[in-house]
Amino acid sequence: MEDCEIENLLVPRFLKYVRYDTESDRRVEETPSTSGQWELAKALRDELLSIGIEDVKITDHCYVIARLPSSLRFEKAETCIGFLAHLDTACDVSGKDVKPQYVQNYSGDRIELAGGLCLDPAKEPDLAAQAGKAIIHCDGTTLLGADNKAGIAEIMAAVEYLAANPQIEHGQVEIIFTPDEETGKGLPFFPLDEIKSASCYTVDGGPMGEIESECFNAWKADIEFNGKVIHVGAARGILANAALMASTFAVLLPRSESPEATDGYYGYYCPMEISGSLETAALEVYLRDFDSDGMKRRIAALDAFAKAVEAQFPGGKVIVKTQPQYYNMKSGIDKKPDVMGRLKKAMDNLGISWQLKPVRGGTDGSRLTELGIPTPNIFTGGRNFHSRLEWVSVSEMCAACKVIIELIRICP
């Protein structure tokens, strides 16, 4: 596999995919939550058909499922390996009218972006290391969409490469593209009964070499505040201001356990949205912890904060409603050590140093693992996800594509 050949399969695809506006919307209950995801799903279906993959379908809820048939020697093999990436981009920053900037020979200098932003190699060692290599970044007005269109491009490039090189023998390969991963819905309509893979790999990670077999336990809290309203001119001793109750609750969330104050295996509370008036208000909080007991502590803390706010606002009422979003996939993957073993072997075969890291977030792999299909995560080469400073290394994208091909080759 020559880098230039892989790059030619990868880059045009990625530049095309990021121009699809697939930003998901966590406020919409339907799956998919936005129409742009349908557009990309249909384009991927047509592309798979054009490279000779006949077994392709899109479900009623926008899950794309395709299969690359096994080589003749492995036609009777019962095993099937899957690769998965998600169609949507995050709603944290706009994903509309993305203008990718393809820099084929990065100078190593600062890159000025719109709005006074810049990519500064002095602050990003990984960016400095790309000097003389190709990178793709956004222009500063939107995110880039490497999360997860880099993963889609890497899977699609690997599939086309294998279809064009039948001398590389392999077993059956399943390709899965999913909607609304960024909303944390946990694959509510995932067509498990149609999936043949005994194991799967999400291609949804960061820097080259990073592989992941564990993630956060994730819960969401919707907190309602009911105030006691009277004319503000006669409010003394009577008014319970719901908007102020919500603000007070948010301030009680410990700053030392926020996303911006934690890393590694430390969990957090993150207020996502606050709204309201004198009479009613609402606060949405994300809870993240690698440990299930730690999550119980966080949920209990929210109940304690609710009581503290009610005590400060006589007549006011706070209602805390919590629900799980996804669970740590570590225990499920640990039960099938050969799944990680194959991934490490594929990277060793390619001379790529691997490092195990926890996912400070979630992937569709967490839900798939819960459903009985162990699904660790592979790097994509992207950095600064969900931001206007997002960029991706082309050489690392090529490396991820090679890992996919090698995994397929060693897993009949």
Q: Which of 47, 181, 390, 396 is catalytic?
A: 181
Which phi and psi (to 5°) does residue 57 adopt?
-150, 160
14: Cβ contacts below 8 Å, ≥ 6 apart:
100, 136, 146, 149, 150, 153, 392, 397
Active site residue 174: no
Q: Give the tokens for residue 182.
A: 């960024």
CB 137 within 8 Å of CB 103: yes
Q: Distance between alpha carbon 89 and the CA centroid of its chain, in Å?
A: 8
Please count the CA atoms within 13 angstroms of the CA of 323 that sit on its side-chain side: 8
Active site residue 88: yes
Beta bridge partners of 217: 289
Which burial class, exposed, middle or buried, applies to 243 when counting CB atoms under 10 A from its CB (0-12, 13-18, 19+)? middle
Q: Which of 23, 47, 88, 160 is catalytic?
A: 88
Which burial class, exposed, middle or buried, applies to 316 when counting CB atoms under 10 A from its CB (0-12, 13-18, 19+)? buried
Catalytic residue numbers read 88, 181
